[in-house]
Structure 1
Amino acid sequence: MPIDYTIKLNPQLSPFSFLYGIAVRFRNQLFDWGILPSEEYDIPVICVGNIAVGGTGKTPHTEYIIRLLQPRYKNKIAVLSRGYKRKTSGYILANEQTKSRDIGDEPYQIKQKFPQIQVAVDANRRRGIQHLLKLPEEIRPEIILLDDGFQHRYVTPSLNIVLTDYHRLMYLDKLMPVGRLREPKSGIRRADVIIVTKCASDIKPIDFRIIEDHIKVVAHQTVFFTTVRYGEIKPVFSKNALPWVKRDIRKNDDVLVVSGIASPDGFIREIKRYSNQVTTLTFPDHHTFSTKDIEKIKNTFEQFSSLEKLIIVTEKDAARLRDMTNIPDMIKKRLYYQPIMVDFIGKNRTRFDELIKEHILTFSKNKK
């Protein structure tokens, strides 16, 4: 797959981008000078963030790190997120009764997959970490994964991981609102690890080298590449579901794909591999589904003639839909979600695991 150098920009908004850049650079400089405080901690705080708005794959990469560390650290891992678009405020520690609307769809998804670990939300990351470190000893975290905290510079992570989407590489992008960059490209220098996400599985070695050259990594940085791996579809409402599995989707089945994520193209392409009759309904990222939306989904679905028709949503959408009480049973029976995971590819594909484990061990030794 060739690298796309034609990402959509809004050059007419350049004056606003210029002013935004001045403000962001000045703020970063205040942290660099020590005028604005940044706090360090006695346990590893690993930040998984990005330099642009939009979906770069932070949640599946966070989940990858949890899977990597959980065999050793069990329930001593915590994830701290802002909890984007939740209906609450302040610090909340998730439990079995917590809903998506309480903590946001991504933290909810993580808690559902990894119920043993601690998942908390707080827009004030310092306060959130302080709360986590005051938990009882038996569940107090030894490692904190900071979700989307690269620009939250009041916390100094022990390791900064920054993601950039292969289809919208950060060095081809521009500051908001011309492009999607949250801060100037020079901000990438704060990263210890850079991951190029959503690569094609058959990406060529020359593309690896081109991207690494353009990123212009410095001595302390390592670049990795990942691709998305899709799992078998699973029912959103297990009690109501029909006995479907992914391999049973036939080319002539009617499939309604519903997505409320930033970059749904890859998800839609995956479903089209299995069915020739795919209809799509797309909503904004982190969309809160309304009664009107459910009615639109129902009306679209009822127009399909196939007896084995079904609806497939993303994992994040499934998290929000589970909160809803007004979804008709006929929709619940046919409502499935597509889980995703990430695989590391390229020459450094095995190095990432070693790097994370080495970082934690080295950090712990240095703090003793």
Structure 2
Amino acid sequence: MTTTTERPTMTPTMRAMVITQNGGPDVLTPAKIPTPRRRGSEILIRVAAAGVNPFDVDARAGRVGSCGSPELPAVLGCDFSGTVVESPYAAFPLKPGTEVYGVASVPRSAGTYAEYVSVPLLSVTRKPKSLSHVEAAAVPLAALTAWGLVVDVAKAHEGQRILVHAGAGGVGHFVVQFAAYFGAHVIATGSSRNADWLTELGASEVIDYTQSLFEEATVGVDVVIDLVDDDEVALRSVRVLRLGGLLVHVPTCEVPGLQDLCDSVGARLTGYEVAPDATCLAIIARLLDSGDVAVYVDDVYDLEDVADAHRLLAKGHTRGKLVLKITDE
């Protein structure tokens, strides 16, 4: 059954957090800007909550990765959960009033640190029924990334040994759950405070990186999923791979000498780039509603306090995701 609410009214202007220049968290400033207009086959969404991701921090600071940097002035934010305001046509399945979640097309379009966003059809699907908007907004980008890493790249299966760096992070806690769901033996690196939680998520082993070197604690790994932006960690990860094993280095910066090192020991190396996928988001929604997968929200901020969320995220060591509450549910 489709979840619907009363059709929200649209205003000509909206609250948003805008950057007019690259820099530190303080460049995020509140503004009233025109509400976006739906174009072509897009869907206009009234945003209830938005996720905060490392990509947002990099884009704000002007660190240009393979996705490019948004044109200034810009509204950041990829994840959203909210309610459909306008659909492409009358018989479209996601009618006005339907609760949805998905991913905005940043940097090609404005992001989700705002009351409204207009997104392509492939970027949005029905929100998980069991989740609040705040919880649902923590899911899309992190879970899509994790799904691609585990299912499309690692091809997780029973008997496979997968090492996950930063297993307690936004992407990491989904990687651990998806890999365990498909039967892999999951080894996660994390701090001592997250050890029990990672075990609950499905990790068979947890290596406390503050107490021991992971390459001394495990060996013969089929796949390493490296979510840490640290060249040394990437290079050390090659040591734990079996012959023919695969290192998936997710951070976009290329690590000097990493490909040569993998070649020298008979290991494979790849990066990864996530893409919006409404069909995959619908599968993830069913896993969340069934209880096979869970999302963890570390903290919730008001829209105008997004700079504080950026500061915390830049320090690292958050558990799960940070979320902005934008409008009342």
Decide: shared fold, TM above 0.5.
Answer: no
Which one has the bigger strand percentage?
A: 2
TM-score by length of 2: 0.35
Whose Rg is larger?
1
